[in-house]
Amino acid sequence: MIADHYPALQIVIPLLCAPVCMLVRYRDWSWAVALFGSWASLAISWELLLQVQGAGVISYEMGNWAPPFGIEYRIDPINAFVLLIVSAIGAVVIPYARESVKREFGVNRVYFFYTSYLLCLAGLLGVTITGDAFNLFVFLEISSLSSYVLIALGRDRRALVASYQYLVMGTIGATFIVIAIGLLYAETGTLNMADLAKILAEQPTSRTIGAAFGFMVVGVSLKLALFPLHLWLPNAYSFAPSVVSAFLAATATKVAVYVLLRFLFSIFNVELSFGVMPLDTILLVLSVIAMFAASAVAIYQKNLKRMLAYSSVAQIGYMVLGISFANVSGLMACILHLFNHALMKGGMFLALGCIFYRIASVRLESMAGMGRRMPLTAAAFLIGGLGLIGVPLTVGFISKWYLVEGALARGWWPVAILILLSSLLAVVYVWRIVEVMYMRPVPEDAPEIEEAPPSMLIPTWILIGASVYFAIDTELTVGVAKEAATLLLGGAK
């Protein structure tokens, strides 16, 4: 009985927990509410994934209004998987947040964090689960507005400016998406995604649809920080509180990538996206530049959070590169890397948060001898870094494997070589840190420090451990990714 309403509960639980969090205010209680909200979301999204694998696409009619007029929540293997990623990261981050947030915000302000975190989670899950184009915009704005707040909670005053810049660029992106949805509505008279897909497939491409397509791609690219629209990302990630960087890096851009996939393949069809519009070439060029330019910039960063942020821009390049191949292996690489990068980057940001908790710095020069001062944290960071490079036995290898396969299947072997070359840049920026952490002696005036508290260390290792586990046991991830990629390419029904 209640199982029929999981799609609604997925959104409603975190959304309702948010005001409750605001009302209870008291620090550990608001933490407990957030813990309940995020763990319940995880349980529901796991159930939904199982249901989808068993029974196929789930269509949930919000308030019993039948689609295409009512709002439909539609869950297929693709968004079930993204839901699981988002809620899993959310669930891992919250136990970690307890200590970290207290230290970074001051004990009396923690409920601000938990409230906006829950709203952000509800927004991200909503974007993923909905089958209605306008509803997607509303949820996107819920998640974006709360992430501006989350970033502005950073201690450094530069966090305010970073948040402001993100707000301006994010709003422009969202407004572009609304324009696109408006033009699509003008042409088709519907907002339901499945209905849109059906009508668009029957119509020849008019200028209105072309314009809608352009606005949509640019708007979503702003949200997912595709080069050269990534300018908001490095500042936002480097000045946000540690937990926020980890949570946003692992979820926000991933959901935007999902939106791009959904629109390019499910709503507009492959023929329109890559035949009528030359999007494959554009995405190919931009993502290759992102892989090289952002990795090269990452090499010169002294602030490790900023380095990870630039590396995120490069890694988003890999995902978009997978989309540009428009074949099964390419899309599988994209979806796998969504998951894998969330684990690695989330884990690395959490590890940095552990270091920041102890020494209140994320500068490269203060990392000297960290391999001996905080061995477990440094090891987690190292394994995450190996994953970014794509070393075998880490998840990064799996996604790069399918990416190279996709490039070869498309006959673009120079691109395959570029993928391998760009990994060398990752070797450089990861090695710099390994060198400082493990080869340099502990400075003599450095105070004696302990490992991070277990409540922070365990979540970090859960993500890093998962990033190794899913490299060895690829059955779940590759299976789901394959199903999702085939579905996307087979036309959305």
Partner 1 sequence: MHIAVGLYNYWIVVFLMMAGFYIVVAQGNFIKKIVGLNVFQASVFLLYISLGKVAGGTAPIIGEGIQTYSNPLPHVLILTAIVVGVATTALGLALVVRINEAYGSIEEDEIHKQDSES
H, E, C per residue of 76-106 = CHHHHHHHHHHHHHHHHHHHHHHHHHHHHHC
Contact 314, 426 (CB under 8 A): yes
- Site membership for partner 1, residue 303 (CB under 8 A): no
Side chain identity, residue 410: R
Placement of tokens 């070869």 in the chain: 408
CB of 185 to partner 1, least distance (A): 7
Side chain identity, residue 131: G
Which residue stretch of 171-179, 268-276, 290-298, 435-443 sits at the interface with partner 1 (rule: CB under 8 A)? 171-179
Q: Which is nearer to partner 1, 5 or 363 (CB)?
A: 363
- Site membership for partner 1, residue 152 (CB under 8 A): yes
User: What is the CA 157 to chain-centroid distance, rounded?
Assistant: 25
CB of 454 to partner 1, least distance (A): 35
- Site membership for partner 1, residue 186 (CB under 8 A): yes
Instruction: Please provide residue 400's backbone torsions phi and psi, each rounded to the nearest 5 degrees.
Output: -70, -35
Contact 146, 269 (CB under 8 A): no
- Site membership for partner 1, residue 178 (CB under 8 A): yes
Cis peptide, bond prior to residue 95, ω within 30 of zero: no
CB of 321 to partner 1, least distance (A): 29
Closest C-alpha to 136, from 180, 167, 98, 92 = 180
* DSSP count for the chain of H helices, then E strands: 20, 2
How wide is the angle at C-alpha 346 spanned by C-alphas 341 and 350, nearest 5°?
155
Q: Token pair for residue 234?
A: 């490095």
Q: Which is nearer to partner 1, 51 or 366 (CB)?
A: 366
- Site membership for partner 1, residue 158 (CB under 8 A): yes
- Site membership for partner 1, residue 171 (CB under 8 A): yes
Closest C-alpha to 170, from 112, 122, 120 = 120
Contact 357, 452 (CB under 8 A): yes
- Site membership for partner 1, residue 301 (CB under 8 A): no
Among 24, 32, 172, 446, binds partner 1 (CB under 8 A): 172
Q: Is 215 exposed, middle or buried (0-12, 13-18, 19+ CB in 10 A)?
A: buried
- Site membership for partner 1, residue 231 (CB under 8 A): no
- Site membership for partner 1, residue 360 (CB under 8 A): no
CB of 142 to partner 1, least distance (A): 9
- Site membership for partner 1, residue 164 (CB under 8 A): yes
Any alpha helices (H) in 274-392, and if so which ranges? 279-299, 304-325, 328-359, 370-373, 375-389
Q: Total residues at the site for partner 1 (CB under 8 A)?
A: 25
Q: Which is nearer to partner 1, 141 or 195 (CB)?
A: 141
**What is the rounded CA–CA span in Å between residue 326 and residue 49?**
25
Q: Which is nearer to partner 1, 158 or 302 (CB)?
A: 158
- Site membership for partner 1, residue 207 (CB under 8 A): no
CB of 170 to partner 1, least distance (A): 9
Q: Which is nearer to partner 1, 73 or 166 (CB)?
A: 166
Q: Which is nearer to partner 1, 185 or 438 (CB)?
A: 185
Q: Token pair for residue 209?
A: 């649809």
Which residue stretch of 80-88, 158-166, 254-262, 380-388 sits at the interface with partner 1 (rule: CB under 8 A)? 158-166
- Site membership for partner 1, residue 157 (CB under 8 A): yes
CB of 144 to partner 1, least distance (A): 9
- Site membership for partner 1, residue 282 (CB under 8 A): no
- Site residues for partner 1, 90-149, by CB under 8 A, read 134, 137-138, 141, 145, 148-149
CB of 44 to partner 1, least distance (A): 26
Contact 94, 31 (CB under 8 A): yes
Q: Which is nearer to partner 1, 165 or 327 (CB)?
A: 165
CB of 189 to partner 1, least distance (A): 9
CB of 33 to partner 1, least distance (A): 23
- Site membership for partner 1, residue 214 (CB under 8 A): no
Name, in order, each residue with C-beta under 8 angstroms of 123's C-beta and a sequence gap of 6 or more. Answer: 139, 140, 141, 142, 143, 144, 146
CB of 31 to partner 1, least distance (A): 24
Q: Which is nearer to partner 1, 107 or 186 (CB)?
A: 186
**What is the rounded CA–CA span in Å between residue 298 and residue 320?**
19
- Site membership for partner 1, residue 185 (CB under 8 A): yes
CB of 174 to partner 1, least distance (A): 8
Q: Which is nearer to partner 1, 162 or 492 (CB)?
A: 162
Among 175, 205, 303, 327, binds partner 1 (CB under 8 A): 175
Transcribe 437-485 into DSSP letters. Answer: IIISPPPTTPPP-PPPPHHHHHHHHHHHHHHHHHHH--HHHHHHHHHHH
Using alpha carbons, list the distances in angstroms from residue 26 to 23, 29, 31, 64, 350. 9, 6, 9, 38, 25
Q: Token pair for residue 281?
A: 């070439």
Side chain identity, residue 380: A
Binding residues (CB under 8 A) for partner 1: these are: 134, 137-138, 141, 145, 148-149, 152, 157-158, 160-161, 163-164, 167-168, 171-172, 174-175, 178-179, 182, 185-186
